[in-house]
């Protein structure tokens, strides 16, 4: 059998190498999934080539041919996608396919591109460049979702609703404050995403030990940093620092891990939100109505409108957590330095990323089309003594120690239940005062107590910073609108 496209290292072997066994060729290949790194691979190669020219390891003419060849290859791949004839499984991966195509186009100039470089530092660079872009895309999508939440809050944010702890009725809040809670959580995940160490350039670390050639790593880094807009403002920082240890630089997948952890956190929040809205969309709650676009029917039960999109957002979290576990597990047994196990990293990074992108876009559409059912929420608002804590706080304002107030209100709630009253406000001043006296206190309750009762009154009374009532919501809404106005998409 002849070797159809010999890999550049096979000449060290007596036989034909892995390319001669189709299973081995496919097994060792990552082409299926790493093709999507092609723009970043080419970006890194051009930076490397410019550096090689800068330190006189290649000529100006070599560089010209390399740049032209790589740019041509990039357009070809962009145009032809999977059909690009340069994709050859026996060449293993995106790096080798692009380099082979370059050599085909440019001969010796192309043969010089890999000077002082290994696929180990090359792939470490490519994945970071890709992650950096992906983090921008994810952050933009998260801000789109936040924007949708803010818009819904503007429309229906002042509707009074119950809050839940332990999924039991707690205190009254407004819809907007709950919507802003999701926005706050998502905003934190954006901060988390930005924290992965995208800025450290591993290129120049070679296979593990660096190189005896006079590579100028800062020069390469300079090529990969800072994108400016037409006004000369920095719109992207990119790589700004050197990885300081060539062994770590080629052995580590920490950036990928940080990124997938951030995706896991994003998924976790999306899943909690989905769960909340699945409950709210149930007949029992009826707090929200989902648009028909985002529910599905049953093949058997004609009446059904199932919140499948929300369920899938919740369910897809499994894939994202799985990707994180896969990556962590993959790294745990490896000696320091590159091991081929690391090739599998991209499979999990891409799977998690694709899933979270889809979930975010779907969530945004759901939020944009969902309505809170004000009347329905209102009907049940008197259930569960949501104003009990407010009553205790009223007593505190009249000088009753909080622990005593808590006890008094507990007794009053019990009294209501005994009398079949649903609301504390049905009690008389005498009832309130009798309970105070029974707990060893004075008759401190006056007519103004009724201003502290009823969910609508309570949400107006919260005054702590960040509260879930009207004032807290309005403050947060204002801040969000301000951020979104200032920063365009950046929320
Ligand atoms: N496709 C490989 C990866 O993603 C490239 C590295 C191969 N390196 C090696 N020393 N065999 O990890």
pLDDT tens readout for residues 179-197: 999 999 999 999 999 988 8
Closest-CA residue to 70 (of 86, 58, 82): 86
Which atom of ligand 1 has the smallest separation from the CA of 342? 12
Task: Assess whether pLDDT exceeds 80 at residue 8.
Answer: no
Name which residue sits closest to atom 2 of ligand 1, judged by CA. Answer: 343
Is 114 an annotated catalytic residue? no
**Cα distance between residue 116 and residue 332, in whole Å:** 29
Q: Among 93, 128, 251, name the best residue to mutate to test ligand 1's pocket (greatest count of ligand atoms within 8 A of Cβ).
A: 93
Q: Among 29, 44, 100, 343, name the best residue to mutate to test ligand 1's pocket (greatest count of ligand atoms within 8 A of Cβ).
A: 343
Name which residue sits closest to atom 5 of ligand 1, judged by CA. Answer: 119
Name which residue sits closest to atom 3 of ligand 1, judged by CA. Answer: 343
> Residue 84, exposed/middle/buried by CB under 10 A (0-12, 13-18, 19+)?
middle
**Cα distance between residue 221 and residue 199, in whole Å:** 9
Distance 330 CA to ligand 1 centre (A): 15
Give the pTM: 0.93
Distance 69 CA to ligand 1 centre (A): 23
DSSP type of residue 334: P
**Cα distance between residue 190 and residue 82, in whole Å:** 32
Distance 461 CA to ligand 1 centre (A): 62
Ligand 1 contact via 343 beta carbon (within 6 Å): yes
Percent of the chain with pLDDT over 90: 87
Which atom of ligand 1 has the smallest separation from the CA of 94? 1
Residues, the chain, total? Answer: 491
Output the average pLDDT for the chain. 94
Ligand 1 contact via 37 beta carbon (within 6 Å): no
Q: Among 7, 41, 119, name the best residue to mutate to test ligand 1's pocket (greatest count of ligand atoms within 8 A of Cβ).
A: 119
The hierarchical CATH code for the domain 388-468 is: 1.10.40.30
Any idea which of 47-61, 228-242, 320-334 has the lowest mean pLDDT? 228-242
Which atom of ligand 1 has the smallest separation from the CA of 93? 1
Ligand 1 contact via 123 beta carbon (within 6 Å): yes
Ligand 1 contact via 93 beta carbon (within 6 Å): yes
The architecture in CATH of the region 1-9+19-129+197-244 reads Orthogonal Bundle (1.10)
Mean pLDDT of 283-305: 89
The CB density around residue 232, as the number of other CB atoms within 10 Å, is 6
Distance 94 CA to ligand 1 centre (A): 10
pLDDT band at residue 87 under the 50/70/90 scheme: very high
Q: Specify the pLDDT at position 301.
A: 80
Ligand 1 contact via 338 beta carbon (within 6 Å): yes
Q: What is the per-residue pLDDT across 376-425, written as a single tens digit (0 to 9) for each? A: 999 999 999 999 999 999 999 999 999 999 999 999 999 999 999 999 99
Active-site entry in 29, 141, 166, 236 = 166
Mean pLDDT of 160-164: 98
Active-site entry in 75, 236, 282, 298 = 298
Q: What is the per-residue pLDDT across 328-343, written as a single tens digit (0 to 9) for each? A: 999 999 999 999 999 9
Residues 6+ apart with CB under 8 A from 86: 73, 76, 77, 97, 98, 100, 101
Q: Where are the domains of the chain?
A: 1-9+19-129+197-244, 254-378, 388-468
**Helix (H) or strand (E) run with residue 241 in it:** strand 241-242
Mean pLDDT of 252-274: 97
Any idea which of 10-24, 96-110, 219-233, 414-428 has the lowest mean pLDDT? 10-24
**Cα distance between residue 280 and residue 287, in whole Å:** 5
Ligand 1 contact via 294 beta carbon (within 6 Å): no
CATH of 254-378, picked from 1.20.200.10, 3.30.70.360, 3.30.200.20, 3.40.50.300, is 1.20.200.10
The single residue listed with the structure tokens 């876009």 is: 361
Q: What is the per-residue pLDDT across 459-484, written as a single tens digit (0 to 9) for each? A: 999 999 999 999 999 999 999 999 99
Is 166 an annotated catalytic residue? yes
Ligand 1 contact via 370 beta carbon (within 6 Å): no
Distance 120 CA to ligand 1 centre (A): 6
Q: Specify the pLDDT at position 489.
A: 47
- Residue 450 near residue 458 (C-beta atoms within 8 A): no
Hey, is 169 helix, strand or coil? strand
Name which residue sits closest to atom 7 of ligand 1, judged by CA. Answer: 119
């Amino acid at each position: 059998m002849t070797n159809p496209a010999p890999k550049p290292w096979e000449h060290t072997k007596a036989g034909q190498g892995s390319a001669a066994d189709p299973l081995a060729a496919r097994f060792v290949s990552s082409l299926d999934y790493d093709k999507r790194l092609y723009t970043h691979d080419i970006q890194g190669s051009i930076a490397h080539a410019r550096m090689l020219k800068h330190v006189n390891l290649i000529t100006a003419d070599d560089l010209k041919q390399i740049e032209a060849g790589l740019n041509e290859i990039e357009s070809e791949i962009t145009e032809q996608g999977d059909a690009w004839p340069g994709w050859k499984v026996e060449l293993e991966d995106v790096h080798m396919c692009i380099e082979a195509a370059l050599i085909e186009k440019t001969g010796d100039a192309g043969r010089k591109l890999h000077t002082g470089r290994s696929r180990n530092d090359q792939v470490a660079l490519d994945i970071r460049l890709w992650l950096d872009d992906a983090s921008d895309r994810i952050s933009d999508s998260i801000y789109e979702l936040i924007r949708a939440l803010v818009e819904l809050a503007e429309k229906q944010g002042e509707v009074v609703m119950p809050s839940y702890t332990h999924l039991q009725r707690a205190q009254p809040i407004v819809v907007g404050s709950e919507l802003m809670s999701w926005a706050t959580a998502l905003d934190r995940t954006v901060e988390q995403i930005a924290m992965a160490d995208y800025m450290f350039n591993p290129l120049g670390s070679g296979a593990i030990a660096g190189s005896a050639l006079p590579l100028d790593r800062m020069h390469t880094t300079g090529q990969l940093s800072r994108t400016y807009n037409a006004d000369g403002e920095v719109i992207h920082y990119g790589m700004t620092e050197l990885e300081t240890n060539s062994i770590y630089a080629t052995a580590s997948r920490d950036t990928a891990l940080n990124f997938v952890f951030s995706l896991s956190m994003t998924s976790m929040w999306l899943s909690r939100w989905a769960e909340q809205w699945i409950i709210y969309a149930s007949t029992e709650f009826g707090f929200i109505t989902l648009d028909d676009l985002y529910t599905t029917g049953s093949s058997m039960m004609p009446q059904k409108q199932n919140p499948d999109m929300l369920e899938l957002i919740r369910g897809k979290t499994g894939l994202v957590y799985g990707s994180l576990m896969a990556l962590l597990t993959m790294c745990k047994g490896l000696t320091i330095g590159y091991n081929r196990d690391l090739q599998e990293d991209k499979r999990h990074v891409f799977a998690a990323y694709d899933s979270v992108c889809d979930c975010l876009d779907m969530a945004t559409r759901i939020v944009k089309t969902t309505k809170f059912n004000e009347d329905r929420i209102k009907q049940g608002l008197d259930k569960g003594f949501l104003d009990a804590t407010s009553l205790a706080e009223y007593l505190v304002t009249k000088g009753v120690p909080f622990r005593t107030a808590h006890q008094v209100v507990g007794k009053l709630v019990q009294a209501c239940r005994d009398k079949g009253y649903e609301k504390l406000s049905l009690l008389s001043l005498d009832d309130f005062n009798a309970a105070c006296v029974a707990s060893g206190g004075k008759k401190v309750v006056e007519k103004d107590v009724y201003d502290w009762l009823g969910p609508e009154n309570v949400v107006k009374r919260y005054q702590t910073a960040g509260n879930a009532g009207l004032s807290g919501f309005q403050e947060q809404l204002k801040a969000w609108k301000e951020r979104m106005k200032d920063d365009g998409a950046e929320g």
